[in-house]
Amino acid sequence: MLVAVFERRVDLLLSTLLLLEYEAVLSRPENLEPSGLTAHEVIELLDGLAGLCTPVGFDFRWRAVARDPNEDLVVETAVNGVAEAIATFNLRDMAAGAALFGISAVRPAVLLRRIQK
């Protein structure tokens, strides 16, 4: 999840492209089976998530900045949404690309502790 802080307010950020990527990945049979969800339930879950997030449009497209090119949509959304941090378990692939734009990539628990302060 991407986080932006504006005047001490925390916003979750989400772009249409990133939402579509989440839907594609979460709807794969190998991901549906262990979750116990149907494809319809995944869409409902993502619709709920989208309602909690601030939409981010892309003014600029950045490519090949994350160690794993599949993570570039996350970095692009973070850059265009002026995020301060990316909450991720995938620090190995995300940290260097995000750092190019002054965005920290941290584990979700670390980010939650930072927000609580």
CB 32 within 8 A of CB 40: no
**pTM exceeding 0.85:** no
pLDDT of amino acid 73: 86
| Phi-psi domain of 109 (left: phi exceeds 0; alpha: psi -120 through 50; beta: other) | alpha
What residues form DSSP beta bridges with 55?
A: 14
**What string of pLDDT tens digits covers the 117 residues of the chain?**
666 666 667 889 999 989 999 999 999 999 999 999 999 999 999 999 999 999 999 876 766 677 777 788 888 899 899 898 999 998 998 888 889 999 999 999 998 888 777
Cα-flanking dihedrals φ and ψ of residue 95, to 5°? -60, -50
pLDDT of amino acid 20: 93
